[in-house]
Structure 1
Amino acid sequence: MDRSNGICARLRKRALENISDRAEMRKLKNNLEPNLDKNDKTQISTWLIVLIFLIPVFVYLPGILGKIPYPSDSALYTDLMLTHYPNALYLKQSIIEYHQIPLWSSLIHSGAPFAANPLAGLFYLPGWLALLFPLPEGISVMLAVHAVFGSWGMYQFLKEENIGEIGAIAGGVAFGLMPKMAAHYGAGHVSLIYAISWTPWLLLMSRKDQKGWKTGITAALLFLADPRWSVYAGMFWFSYDIAHRQEQRFRTNFLYYLRSGIIALLIASPLILPMYEFVGLSTRLQMGVDDIQAFSLAPTKILNLIIPASGGNPEWYLYSGGIIIGLFIMQVFIEQLRKINRFWSAWVVISLLISFGSWLINPSWLVNLPIISLLRVPTRAFFLAGYSLTVITARSLDSIFVGGLGHKRLSKIAFGLSLFSLGMALSITYLLGKFSIIAIWGFVFLFLLSSLILISKPIAKERGMIGILVGLMIVDLFGAGIQSYYRKDKNEITSREVADSIKGDTDKFRLYSPSYSFPQYLAAENGFELTDGVDPLQVAAYSEFMEKASGVTSQGYSVTIPAFNTGNPALDNTGSMPNAFLLGLLNVKYVISEFMIDNPDLHEIPTGDQSYLYVNGFILNRAWIEDELICEENYQLKNSKKISNLEFSPNRIELTAYGPGRLVLSEVYYPGWKVIVDGDAKTIEQAYGLLRSVYLTEGEHEIKFNFQPITVYFGLGLAAIGWMLAVWQIRKDK
């Protein structure tokens, strides 16, 4: 009998090794997994499932109720208020006040393309739903919606992976509660969270979409949410599809990739084309190795995997959950489960290696790689580890705790983990000299997991234990997530008396600050325009001009204008000498600073605010006509000709001017701007190396500047073709 069993075992092993058809391999593997009946949903109430998937909403609830998330209590900035809230407010105001969808933004940098900026989210239509709510609360509402959407997508994906109901539910909610996602919410990385929420749906398409049309649509929406994440998600999806695709015929697979790629490119064209143009004219091309590898994960931060801390930098937040880490370790010691999970385990390792960045390899060759050379912050790749750990968790819960796979070894593993977690918790407490719940958080839940296994025998029959375990996992992830960011009242950060000092000025002007004393969200709320600002995409010519105008030289690539070389805006540029005349060319009337500026051309105005307020003695109007170049010596020529009826809207500027002479508009020269003089199209010339100008003959002229970027319009046309083609083919294939 023993001999017969041995022969059968060898034959079974040989069959597994020689099967070439992946569908059969997948079927055989699934038979090895003792899962629940995938169609048996009677054990879990539908309403309970709905309530479980709504749990991620509570991570974003403080923001929905009016709080502003920050990375820490000492953090002064968050991208939510730096970028996403001002952009959303500008979009909303443009539609309401001007009845225009803005393609150009006048918020910062004396104007920049809005449609070409991926952080504007202009072509990611789901993000527009935030405008239906008060801002910035509406953004948190949409982040919560995306978290639930991503959770549901993960649940559907796990079901397609032949994981049982309980495991799929646990994995789905674990994805939505991913603590690293909550930490990035504190940093205000709105578009990143939007895009990550599409990742489960992209991988799901590999299972459900046979032709590639739906895959292309999903990939396009992910790209429109955040192009940066699409690089990581694309590699992740492609490797998954190659590893799991059932179809072996080259032609069928080639057509699938071709269709999905074409549809994705077509639908994403409204952003791809103008962004490509913008990047080519931006400082992004100046990034060096240090910029690409910014915030690489130091090996000393590896304990962040089990300790929910980041040292104040959410990019280094790695905590995945004590229970999730425990399940990952357990499945390593169960051969069948380890083999099935090897793809996901490999990506845990790969994403961690990518996160190490410059600590692991010499990255000098990265600057020569297309696309990759434009990316920063390699630790973002760790979201792929979070995804992979979620899949491993779901399969482990399903196979071990529901099916009883490998339960004979679990007691030994659990005993070892319980000793390890208890020892680490006690050691950390001793070293700190005090009790810190954050420091031992992960070890506490690792200990609870181990203890629960030790007291539950036989594990396959303890159906109540799986509920307790999933509940503990939810508490673990939610608790870590809600503690990963700090919450401030909006009135704590938006009250500046200096704003009241200039609110009454009805002139058209811009502001400049060498110390970021007038934040972008405050400018957007009060209708002010800035020459400085924070954005990773900047027109290179403008950045070069501002180095001279601000008196601040940038030490390489910077996301801010002016640069802050040590990251302390309040002090970094102390002693800098702004060029009042060059600022005047940009229509800068007021300069606001945290430190005193010793410049005779800037006249201080007393305020009740802690900041210094100066009026520029060389203020120039937003438009003027000149017979010769204006400089400090002939500054009075600015009033020699008359400009009237000056009207501004996001995509159009209209005015009446009297020639002859050169009309100079204090607006950034950029492709896509057209000028019409008395109904005839004219050529826009560059003035002072940066501004727009047009020559006028003698007499009165009606002038219109219109922003009509061909890249946007052509991209919209391609997107329309892509949508029609995809919808037609999907309906046809039904």
Structure 2
Amino acid sequence: MLTTKKIISTIILASIFTNLPLWADPSHFLKRGNDLQEFFWPIILFIKKQILINHTFPLWFNTILSGTPLLPDPQSQLFYPPNILFLFMPIEIAFLINFIIHTVFGGIGFYLAAKAGFRFSRVASLCVAIFTITSPKMAGYFEAGHFGLIEAMAWVPYTMLALLKLFQTKEWRWSILLALSMAGLFYTHTVTFLISAIASAYFFMSYSIIHKKNTIRRAISYLFGAIIGFGLTAIALLPQLDWKNLTTRYLLTEKPQIYPIWNSKIEFLKSVFLPWTTTTGIQGLDTEKWIPLGLSVSSLAILGFILANKKIKLFIILPTAFLLLVALGNSSPLYSIFIQMEWYQLMRVPTRVWFIIVLIAHFLAGSSIDKLLGSRHLKPFIYLLIILSVCESLLLYWTFLAKPAGKREGISSDFYSFIENDKSRYRVFCIDRCIPQLLAVKHDLELVEGYTTVQQINYYQHSWGLVGSYWDYYSLPIPPTGVYKFQKLQPDPKTLGKYNVKYVISPHQLTGKGFTLAKKFDDYFLYINEALQPRASAPITEYSPNFIKIDTSNYHESVLLLAEVYSPGWNAYLNGDEKVEIQESPDRLRVVELKPNIQYVEFKYDPESYKYGRIITFTTLTMLATWFLYYLYQHYY
């Protein structure tokens, strides 16, 4: 008999066992130069340092791109509660604990969605949970350092459970679970949130057609969950909506970049069912091409589909066919149509929808197990398929995780020892991004370059002058890899000087006047910029991510220049109380016009959308806390 205790224990053990390579050699996954190390870790460390050392909650990220908004960045995870772990323990350990917590939490969620939602047997529901935990696709997330996707997958089953329960009961708590799970998805991975939101709407409509009773009540419950979900996310959602038209993301609509590029439909099918037969082999497959379902799980899923009734088959075929056409990318028969659509262009990676296909396969497999285990003759065959499914998934999972880590080339550690002696405020520019963002945060360096999914369009355009080159396409890094790898960049010292750039690092010699060679570190030349200008045209007395104070008591000019990137969320106050407009200079910096006898000017980052979002989210949390206390009182007192 499978008791609740045994089920939870099995899920925990499966989560630990599946990720044995992670526990055996954490550095192989935490330090492989992927998105975890290059993007998420630096942000988490920056937030941790600002909170614990400077006692401020940062909304602006000074380290990269001469300063960039952190608040509206969809991947910053500023308001995701579980990330509080990182404040109280070493980040490496916190990552590992975070991974296991989300894996177990997700596993329990998939069990509940199967058992309480679809009403599978305990064995079938446990199989669904284990299939998801051991899914080779999850190995791809770990290998690529897709931290947000790992977390997001833990929330997906609770969205499914809430939707199913909205049809089965009249209790409002399922609307709240829907809101909480969708908020969890929003804060961890925006694209997964959007895909899940669309999928949940389709699921809701399909289920309403199949089960026609109480449709209005269900619609009200669904809408209530959506409203609560908006309230929970408004603190981040409103700033994101406010900022989105100021970013580079819409460059994708002008010059679409669809990735990965499939050589043929055969390559796609091999990646799904027989990844070891691809030209590159398993470990040579690109992360975004890593989409195996496994032959055994697929066999169980096909059985589940065959045993389903006609209505369910129809509602499975429609989204599955559509998602397959999307995921095929450039090999899709509808690619010429999709590529004209804005949603497809902005998604950029069509295989992001693949997790829905994986879940459909897992629940169909669970359905076949649920229906066929009752047969005495088929029982041994089904158990054999279950064992083969888990073994095959683990083999694929571990093989992909063993993929050799990419090596991140960078400047010698002697550079950091050298530059620590300079206590002035300045920026650094390395032409080929030789300073990892994590080390920049550790050493409190501020960089001109950077790597992130979205940048402000004004800085993107001005970076052409800073870098000394031109490109007109969407790029994660600035400067783009194709620019610094294939060009010997010769930046202009005066343009960099206006941005308070004191040091320029280059793998080749700079020929322009205004750069003085200070030192050489292995293959890198360190130059001092003789055209350096101060960060502000008057002395800075206080400086933090969200707040800058400038002393103007001895400043007699009518215009104050601050060499920080202009962004609409910043506000300026004369003598701390009189609000004045911040203007954008031709160099995309901040300019303020002064009145006579101004002693100081304060710059604060506090967008209006953030103020409204705070009010909405805190009000929603207060209402939920009140409801929860009332619920406890009603049921336990």
Q: TM-score w.r.t. structure 1 length?
A: 0.77
Instruction: Name the CA shift for 1:371/1:712 in 2 (closer, same or farther; >3 Å).
Output: farther
Instruction: Determine if the alignment matches structure 1 residue 165 to structure 2 residue 122.
Output: yes
Instruction: Determine if the alignment matches structure 1 residue 353 to structure 2 residue 331.
Output: no
Equivalence for 2:523:
610
Any residues of structure 2 matched to 1:138-177 within 5 Å, and which? Answer: 138-159=94-115, 160-177=117-134
Equivalence for 1:380:
352
CA drift of 1:183 comes to 0.8
Instruction: Determine if the alignment matches structure 1 residue 225 to structure 2 residue 182.
Output: no
Equivalence for 1:93:
49
Q: Please point out which of 559, 562, 567 is paired with 1:665.
A: 562
CA distance in 1, matches of 2:304, 2:137: 23
Any residues of structure 2 matched to 1:583-594 within 5 Å, and which? Answer: 583-594=496-507
- In 2, are the aligned partners of 1:285 and 1:374 still within 8 Å (CA)? yes
CA distance in 2, matches of 1:607, 1:108: 23
Give a deviation string over 1:161-214, Cα, whole Å, max 9, x none: 121111111110111222112112211111122222211110100122444333
Instruction: Name the CA shift for 1:340/1:685 in 2 (closer, same or farther; >3 Å).
Output: closer
CA distance in 1, matches of 2:340, 2:611: 31
Any residues of structure 2 matched to 1:309-348 within 5 Å, and which? Answer: 309=282, 311-331=284-304, 334-336=306-308, 343-344=315-316, 346-348=318-320
- In 2, are the aligned partners of 1:296 and 1:378 still within 8 Å (CA)? no
Bigger Cα displacement from structure 2, 136-145 vs 112-121: 136-145
Equivalence for 1:514:
431
CA distance in 1, matches of 2:620, 2:514: 56
CA distance in 1, matches of 2:465, 2:313: 56
Equivalence for 1:705:
603
- In 2, are the aligned partners of 1:92 and 1:131 still within 8 Å (CA)? yes
Any residues of structure 2 matched to 1:230-269 within 5 Å, and which? Answer: 230-245=193-208, 246=211, 248-269=213-234
Equivalence for 1:476:
392
One-letter code aligned to 2:268: K
Equivalence for 2:243:
278
- In 2, are the aligned partners of 1:515 and 1:594 still within 8 Å (CA)? yes
One-letter code aligned to 1:302: L
- In 2, are the aligned partners of 1:66 and 1:137 still within 8 Å (CA)? no
Give a deviation string over 1:102-132, Cα, whole Å, max 9, x none: 1111021111111111111012222332333
Instruction: Name the CA shift for 1:154/1:335 in 2 (closer, same or farther; >3 Å).
Output: closer
CA drift of 1:719 comes to 1.2
Any residues of structure 2 matched to 1:292-691 within 5 Å, and which? Answer: 293-297=258-262, 298-299=264-265, 300-308=267-275, 309=282, 311-331=284-304, 334-336=306-308, 343-344=315-316, 346-361=318-333, 373-400=345-372, 402-404=373-375, 458-460=377-379, 462=380, 469-485=385-401, 486=403, 496-565=413-482, 569=484, 571-572=485-486, 574-624=487-537, 643-644=538-539, 646-657=541-552, 658-661=554-557, 662-681=559-578, 682-691=580-589
- In 2, are the aligned partners of 1:121 and 1:224 still within 8 Å (CA)? yes
Equivalence for 1:35:
none
CA drift of 1:255 comes to 1.3
CA drift of 1:144 comes to 2.4
- In 1, are the aligned partners of 2:140 and 2:287 still within 8 Å (CA)? yes
3-state SS in 1 of match to 2:555: strand
3-state SS in 2 of match to 1:529: coil
- In 2, are the aligned partners of 1:497 and 1:609 still within 8 Å (CA)? no
Give a deviation string over 1:244-302, Cα, whole Å, max 9, x none: 24453443233123212211222111111111122111111221375353325452232
CA distance in 1, matches of 2:490, 2:540: 35
Instruction: Determine if the alignment matches structure 1 residue 67 to structure 2 residue 26.
Output: yes
CA distance in 2, matches of 1:383, 1:170: 17
- In 1, are the aligned partners of 2:542 and 2:550 still within 8 Å (CA)? yes
- In 2, are the aligned partners of 1:651 and 1:706 still within 8 Å (CA)? yes
CA drift of 1:492 comes to 9.3
Give a deviation string over 1:614-641, Cα, whole Å, max 9, x none: 22121111112xxxxxxxxxxxxxxxxx
Instruction: Name the CA shift for 1:99/1:373 in 2 (closer, same or farther; >3 Å).
Output: same
- In 2, are the aligned partners of 1:64 and 1:138 still within 8 Å (CA)? no
CA distance in 2, matches of 1:310, 1:346: 33
Aligned-pair RMSD on alpha carbons? Answer: 3.0
Give a deviation string over 1:453-473, Cα, whole Å, max 9, x none: xxxx8333x4xx766654443
Instruction: Name the CA shift for 1:64/1:618 in 2 (closer, same or farther; >3 Å).
Output: farther
Instruction: Name the CA shift for 1:654/1:206 in 2 (closer, same or farther; >3 Å).
Output: same
Any residues of structure 2 matched to 1:124-139 within 5 Å, and which? Answer: 124-139=80-95
| Structure 1: gaps (5+ residues) | 1-41, 405-456, 625-642
3-state SS in 2 of match to 1:197: helix
CA distance in 1, matches of 2:543, 2:183: 34
One-letter code aligned to 1:659: Y
Equivalence for 2:279:
none
CA distance in 2, matches of 1:66, 1:707: 41
- In 2, are the aligned partners of 1:63 and 1:137 still within 8 Å (CA)? no
One-letter code aligned to 1:316: K
CA drift of 1:221 comes to 2.1
Bigger Cα displacement from structure 2, 340-349 vs 88-97: 340-349
Instruction: Name the CA shift for 1:48/1:302 in 2 (closer, same or farther; >3 Å).
Output: same
CA distance in 1, matches of 2:8, 2:422: 56
- In 1, are the aligned partners of 2:301 and 2:362 still within 8 Å (CA)? no
Give a deviation string over 1:19-60, Cα, whole Å, max 9, x none: xxxxxxxxxxxxxxxxxxxxxxx2568346413433223455
Bigger Cα displacement from structure 2, 227-236 vs 304-313: 304-313
CA distance in 2, matches of 1:652, 1:119: 23
CA distance in 2, matches of 1:492, 1:599: 26
Equivalence for 1:426:
none
| Structure 2: gaps (5+ residues) | 276-281
- In 1, are the aligned partners of 2:33 and 2:407 still within 8 Å (CA)? no
Instruction: Name the CA shift for 1:342/1:145 in 2 (closer, same or farther; >3 Å).
Output: farther
Instruction: Name the CA shift for 1:679/1:231 in 2 (closer, same or farther; >3 Å).
Output: closer
CA drift of 1:243 comes to 2.3
The alignment-based identity, stated in percent, is 24
CA drift of 1:65 comes to 6.8
CA drift of 1:390 comes to 0.9
- In 2, are the aligned partners of 1:331 and 1:396 still within 8 Å (CA)? yes
CA distance in 2, matches of 1:49, 1:672: 46
CA drift of 1:608 comes to 3.4
Q: TM-score w.r.t. structure 2 length?
A: 0.88
Equivalence for 1:213:
176
Choose 1 or 2 for highest CA Rg: 1
CA distance in 1, matches of 2:597, 2:325: 68
- In 1, are the aligned partners of 2:33 and 2:405 still within 8 Å (CA)? no
CA distance in 2, matches of 1:98, 1:148: 34
Instruction: Determine if the alignment matches structure 1 residue 56 to structure 2 residue 15.
Output: yes
CA distance in 1, matches of 2:143, 2:341: 31
CA distance in 2, matches of 1:256, 1:665: 50
Instruction: Name the CA shift for 1:219/1:673 in 2 (closer, same or farther; >3 Å).
Output: same
One-letter code aligned to 1:110: S
Any residues of structure 2 matched to 1:22-33 within 5 Å, and which? Answer: none
